[in-house]
């Protein structure tokens, strides 16, 4: 259950907005922490255990996007961008950098809490419903190029560069594809499984996640060996490590 164990850091320089989001977080039984800037947020993260970060795009000093990139390089933690920038290009850019999700101001309270729950379920395995966390038909482990991936413990290790890591959204995408290896999975199915109920989400968001995952997993992202496109059908995971065509 998503309860008071969950601590959420709200990085927002507008006191009224920070208070509003804090109230929403508390209403769900979670614990809100606040910081008015990226610098202050890093201080909170150094002192406190945080399970998810909500970060405003426009912050004094380092931008929310820069902060998210910095945080992603240091920790595997859920990140949701909260911003007034509402164009599709802005949303895609946010996802391309480091964020797991993107919420546009003004937002409906129910939308924000739904997004938080979706990211928390991807980043904290114990919060997954049983039907999602106990799939007997999916492989327990994968070896993809230089990566060793344990789906049950949700660990992904790059054997040639241990400093590399997958974001929660990238790992969630890999999990979805791994459920039916060698079988194409449609963009619509991926969006649904990622909790993307809102029409803000577009097929391009899936393409961005696939691009990010390929850049990390594939030895040559332009000629993908493992995460392939099937025109008109979606994406397919090929676990064969032999030479194949994209």
pLDDT at 243: 44
**pTM greater than the 0.85 cutoff:** no
Output the tens digit of pLDDT for each of the chain's 246 residues.
445 489 999 999 999 999 999 999 998 889 999 999 999 999 999 999 999 999 998 898 988 888 988 898 888 789 998 877 555 555 555 555 678 887 888 888 888 888 898 888 877 766 655 444 444 445 567 889 899 988 877 788 888 988 888 887 788 889 889 888 888 998 888 877 776 444 444 556 788 889 989 999 999 999 999 999 998 889 999 987 554 334
Biggest distance spanned by C-alpha atoms of the chain:
56
In this prediction, residue 228 carries a pLDDT of 93
Contacts 24+ apart (CB under 8 A), 4-8: 4/29, 4/30, 4/31, 6/30, 6/31, 6/51, 6/52, 6/120, 6/124, 7/31, 7/32, 7/33, 7/48, 7/49, 7/50, 7/51, 8/32, 8/33, 8/50, 8/51, 8/52, 8/53, 8/54, 8/116
Show the tokens assigned to 53.
């970060």
User: Rounded to whole angstroms, how far apart are CA atoms 88 and 202?
Assistant: 8
CA distance 54 to 101: 10
Residue 168's pLDDT is what?
A: 77
| Torsion (CA) 134, 135, 141, 143 in degrees, nearest 10 | -140
The CA-CA-CA angle for residues 131, 173, 162, to 5°, reads 110
């Amino acid at each position: 259950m998503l309860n008071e164990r969950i601590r959420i850091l709200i990085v927002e320089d507008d006191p009224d907005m920070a208070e509003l989001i804090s109230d929403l977080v508390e209403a769900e039984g979670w614990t809100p922490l606040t910081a008015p800037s990226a610098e202050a947020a890093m201080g909170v993260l150094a002192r406190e255990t945080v399970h998810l970060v909500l970060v405003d795009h426009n912050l004094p000093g380092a931008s929310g996007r820069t902060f998210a990139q910095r945080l992603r390089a240091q920790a595997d933690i859920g990140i949701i961008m909260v911003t007034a920038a509402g164009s599709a290009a802005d949303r895609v850019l946010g996802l391309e950098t480091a964020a797991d999700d993107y919420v546009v101001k003004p937002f409906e309270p129910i939308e924000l809490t739904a997004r938080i729950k979706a990211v928390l379920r991807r980043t904290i395995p114990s919060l997954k419903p049983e039907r999602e966390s106990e799939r007997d038909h999916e492989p327990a482990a994968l070896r993809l190029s230089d990566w060793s991936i344990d789906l049950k413990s949700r660990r992904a290790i790059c054997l040639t560069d241990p400093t590399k890591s997958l974001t929660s959204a990238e790992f969630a995408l890999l999990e979805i594809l791994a459920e039916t290896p060698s079988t194409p999975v449609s963009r619509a199915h991926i969006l649904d499984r990622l909790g993307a109920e809102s029409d803000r989400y577009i097929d391009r968001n899936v393409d961005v996640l696939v691009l990010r995952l390929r850049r990390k997993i594939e030895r040559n992202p332009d000629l993908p060996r493992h995460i392939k496109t099937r025109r008109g059908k979606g994406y397919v995971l090929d676990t064969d490590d032999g030479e194949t065509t994209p």
